[in-house]
A and B are shown apart, each in its own frame.
Chain A
Amino acid sequence: MSEATAVREDARLTALEKLREYLRALWAVVWKDLAAELRSRELLTSMLVFALLVILIFNFALELDARTRATITSGVLWVTFAFAGTLGLNRSMAIEKDRGCLDGLLLAPVDRSAIYFGKTLGNLIFMLIIEAIVLPVYSVLYNTNLFNPGLVGVILLGSIGFVVVGTLLASMAVQTRTRDVLLPILLFPVIIPVMIAAVKASNGFLQGIEMDAIRPWLNLLIVYDVIFTAVAFMVFDYVVEE
């Protein structure tokens, strides 16, 4: 086949067909991650056990009165989410590396950002499941009411920011020999803005502070999510290719 013929064949795909292909590939990656996890339960189990242990350790390490406890809740929660999330990200990409599956994904004739967004969405689902279990456990252990719609919104925005950057960095780290230790070293400095904003906004909602004081932190979370989603979309192809 000549180069001109090859190019003509590709041009025949309409924008709508390309979008359909893109979404089909993205969903295939999410389905694969969920199906594999449903069977092995390795990732969710390790994330959950780790998150509960962190909460328990904090509970016993910080012997605080009720008022002080309320002020540290958002900090303890986000440290727990970040640690458990990092464990999940490492495991999620290690599965792709185990039998060379990452190469299998990269060989597929789809825009590689579809693979990235599929992995990101899968990781986000796992993280949200863990958070949904951790919140009521924390409420009981610390005798704090966490059922606040604003807090749920902050957790969603913060988790998106964490997973968007984390999935990108995990796909870089997984190609190195020191992948287990490299990911937290790369990830934690980059997520400092999202962690600060998420802790401040969560604390604002839990303390019943006025919305005007919380809004800048929410804006920071939204801007961070948008910028890093765009950055990951642009650079993922270069990150995974030799």
Chain B
Amino acid sequence: MAVIEVRKLVKRFGLKTVLRGLNFSVEAGEFVAILGPNGAGKTTFLRILASLSRPSLGEVRIAGYRLPAQASSLRRRLGVVSHLPLLYGDLTAEENLRFYGRMYGVANLNQRINQVLEMIGLEARRRDLVRTYSRGMQQRLAIGRAVLHDPEVMLFDEPYTGLDQDASAMLDKVLRNVAASGRTVVMTSHDLARTADLASRFDVLSRGMITASIQRSQINPDQLLAFYRQAIREA
């Protein structure tokens, strides 16, 4: 059964049309990577799925909730990680998680914060201010913030942006944990090599539409770049 269902989605900013009748569907437990060049509309699409932006036209349904009408109820089931950490620099890691835990009404918050800090490997730095963290540590904490309320669906927008090799490898590990927990994941990325290892399906978004889609079982990771280039050329 589809957890995410998008039909004929159009998004306009003034006279500029960014998404042009986009159709998209994700089954429960799938990890879908959305690939595409700069300006293809990946971030706009993810912001609509995250209920941060309203569709101009079309239908978006996630976990049974229709957007934007039922956005408030849907948000409890969504976890979002973007290239910005969405964390307060003048609060500690623990305080950031406590704040978001209160906003989401997380039960047994202290226990859940401990679990999340252990999962992302930041227990030892829990009382340090977030502004003293490296970019990689901030991104791990951002993932912790996003999974704190145990969402069914996770959205990642270019999570590798600005990370060095070590931090990216660490993020890989955390993402694998998230995927292994059975959550439905949608991730946009430029980094084909990393997504090739993580995703179970690859969709190419170009000029505001999904132009190609392939299951990981149907393609050799070495051929992903060729598949991507061909999809962009044909768009």
Contact = CB atoms under 8 A, between A and B. Distances in A.
A39 B100 contact: no
Interface of A: 1-7, 9-10, 21, 24-25, 27-29, 31-32, 35-37, 39-40, 95, 98-101, 103-111, 241-242
A5 B64 contact: yes
A133 B76 CA distance: 42
Nearest to A105: B103
A104 B148 CA distance: 13
- Looking at chain A's contact residues, is the secondary structure mostly helix, strand, loop, or mixed? helix
B19 to A, nearest CB: 12
Contact of A3 (B47, B64, B86): B64
Interface stretch (B67-75, B171-179, B187-195, B201-209): B67-75
Contacts, number: 105
Contacts of A101: 86-88
Interface residues of B, number: 40
A104 B91 contact: no
A71 B174 CA distance: 66
A104 B64 contact: no
Interface in B78-135: 78, 80, 82, 84-91, 95, 99-100, 102-105, 129
B82 A106 contact: no
Given A39-B90, A242-B47, A100 B85 contact: yes
B127 to A, nearest CB: 12
B80 A3 contact: no
Contacts of B52: 103, 106-107, 241-242
Nearest to A41: B90
Among the interface residues B85, B87, B100, B103, which one has the most CB atoms of the partner chain A within 10 A?
Answer: B103
Interface string B149-183: 00000000000000000000000000000000000
B105 A6 contact: no
A35 B105 contact: no
A103 B78 CA distance: 13
Contacts of A1: 63-64
Contacts of B51: 107
Nearest to B129: A39
B73 A109 contact: yes
B73 A25 contact: no
Given A7-B70, A99-B89, 16 more contacts: A3-B64, A6-B63, A10-B70, A21-B105, A29-B103, A35-B90, A35-B91, A39-B129, A95-B88, A99-B84, A100-B84, A107-B52, A107-B86, A109-B74, A109-B76, A242-B54
